[in-house]
A and B are shown apart, each in its own frame.
Chain A
């Protein structure tokens, strides 16, 4: 767990497929997870992320493909022998054991000497900030505390890889934000490679160093949060991550031609001229009330405090264009306004 390993691949997933009856849960999935990173598997429900997590934990087997950890095969190893631990979505704390006994459970299975078990349990309780609650039972704890116990129980084993299944989904909003910071701090502190599975993009963006976006059993894009947001690789990612204006058309030499609307600004794509494509433009990149661009009517103004979201109906487009502006909006409902964006701020994606 020392620093010189950082960045090297820890887990290699190669061409992993898994089918349940008619459903292709995983389709030729290949991923590399690096030593010491916080990795997120992100996708809508049914995208296969949980299946992949369960394959890593050993509760599920792929139909084909290979998974190695530190270069050695992982699939042939029984779940209780893997240097991998899973924090369950339900936390799965043993209700008949105290907090301390829950945490000690994994160490006792390793037949460690008692004094060492006690030391490590005390140590991890301090790490997650639960010193003093060792003798409580799970049902006497709050949701946030239970999650800390679940986390402590998994990291006390000092796994090479820690898997977290929707770690924040069971918590209320305030505790969520707190645990989010806590998870990042802990990951940094213990130096264990974390893989988190989530359907919540904000959770993935705020936690992870790198994110793999999955859809229908396939990996769509693997990237750090910022490039993932700014340079989505395909239509699915552009639509799934954050808000986006997606407009289909045909590529021309000076933009994207959209029937009944005109030629819209987009990055130059000389090789793609004549092909069907979609331009993706983030609402915060759309400028309102400028010269040129498209003419539309303000349909909706939603004030969020720091920002305002404005929806503009443009003739010829089936969905209103969204624009996010800082502070309060200078336009009102029903106003005629112009919307525009710089070609370099948009992303051109294959297909319509």
Chain B
């Protein structure tokens, strides 16, 4: 048995600080009362109200369209970018620039994208959000796939060529499968990031078709309702699932 150490106290408090608001949120989403000052018993009515709300439903569909599209695009682009960077350049600068959109402040990316869209007179709508999300999604996928590439024996591709495979056959049959855990992890990450992304979506959205986070934002302006709590809880569940799945796959990556 390990003995009690006083270090557990600040550690415990830190976790409480981190997770208490989320726990409160989840509990309140099941509160029968419509105010957080009172507990009227367990109730799932807010979830029912939520699904009856047209704005929320449409927002959810928009978000899924954006997330799915951005994930598909960034997975393809990010994977190719990672392979290209690893195989065809030694430039540290190109490497750094490729991953930069992942660490850039959202607001900078958002203003930049809006300025760019305006400059080229691009109409705003779901497609502009989708492309904007592809920008940072690509960076995340590239970063994850790069890590995976470092774990893959470079002579696998030569072995494939040696055994009679063309360059294309080698890419499809050897390179892609050995990167698969990284690619899937990157895709899951890109998807969950797009799902709850607000700042960039807010800046690059058109007058119609808001994504779910924008819908929530407009709802919150009139006060936090338990309905919002329910929605946030659902988003939380989805995000957690995806992030954990992504982490599992990255760990799988290292054991192979």
With a cutoff of 8 Å between Cβ atoms, the chain B residues found around residue A131 in the complex are none
Judged by a CB distance under 8 angstroms, whether B79 is at the interface is: no
Tell me what chain B mostly uses at the interface: helix, strand, loop, or mixed.
helix
Judged by a CB distance under 8 angstroms, whether A59 is at the interface is: yes
Judged by a CB distance under 8 angstroms, whether A86 is at the interface is: yes
Which of A104-112, A217-225, A317-325 lines the interface with chain B? A104-112
Do A79 and B178 touch (CB < 8 A)?
no
**Nearest-Cβ distance from residue A47 to partner chain B, whole angstroms:** 20
Do A90 and B164 touch (CB < 8 A)?
no
Contact of A96 among B155, B162, B164, B177 (CB under 8 A): B177
Most buried by B among A58, A86, A154: A86
Do B178 and A96 touch (CB < 8 A)?
yes
Judged by a CB distance under 8 angstroms, whether B156 is at the interface is: yes
**Nearest-Cβ distance from residue B173 to partner chain A, whole angstroms:** 8
Judged by a CB distance under 8 angstroms, whether A95 is at the interface is: yes
With a cutoff of 8 Å between Cβ atoms, the chain A residues found around residue B178 in the complex are 94-96
Chain B residue at minimum C-beta to C-beta distance from A156: B163
Most buried by B among A58, A89, A95: A95
Judged by a CB distance under 8 angstroms, whether B43 is at the interface is: no
Judged by a CB distance under 8 angstroms, whether B160 is at the interface is: yes
Do A88 and B159 touch (CB < 8 A)?
yes
Contact of B166 among A80, A95, A157 (CB under 8 A): A80
Chain A 141-155 interface mask (CB, 8 Å, partner B; 1/0): 000000000000110
Do B256 and A59 touch (CB < 8 A)?
no
Judged by a CB distance under 8 angstroms, whether A92 is at the interface is: yes
Q: Report how many residues on chain B are interfacial, defined by Cβ distance under 8 Å.
A: 19
**Interface Cβ pair total, 8 Å cutoff:** 60
Separation of A95 and B151 alpha carbons in the complex (Å):
12
**Nearest-Cβ distance from residue B248 to partner chain A, whole angstroms:** 17
With a cutoff of 8 Å between Cβ atoms, the chain A residues found around residue B159 in the complex are 86, 88, 92, 94
Do A57 and B162 touch (CB < 8 A)?
yes
Chain B 132-165 interface mask (CB, 8 Å, partner A; 1/0): 0000000000000000000001011011111111
Do A80 and B164 touch (CB < 8 A)?
yes
Judged by a CB distance under 8 angstroms, whether A139 is at the interface is: yes
Separation of A153 and B155 alpha carbons in the complex (Å):
15
Contact of A153 among B156, B163, B166, B174 (CB under 8 A): B163
Q: Could you list which residues of chain B lie within 8 angstroms of chain A, going by C-beta atoms?
A: 153, 155-156, 158-166, 169, 173-174, 177-178, 180, 256
Q: Besides A58-B161, A59-B158, A109-B163, 8 other CB < 8 A contacts?
A: A79-B158, A79-B162, A80-B161, A80-B166, A92-B158, A94-B177, A105-B165, A157-B164
Q: Could you list 10 A-B pairs, sorted by A, with CB under 8 Å? A: A79-B162, A88-B159, A94-B156, A94-B160, A94-B178, A105-B173, A109-B163, A109-B164, A109-B169, A153-B163
Q: Could you list which residues of chain A lie within 8 angstroms of chain B, going by C-beta atoms?
A: 57-59, 79-81, 84-86, 88-90, 92, 94-96, 105-106, 109-110, 139, 153-154, 157
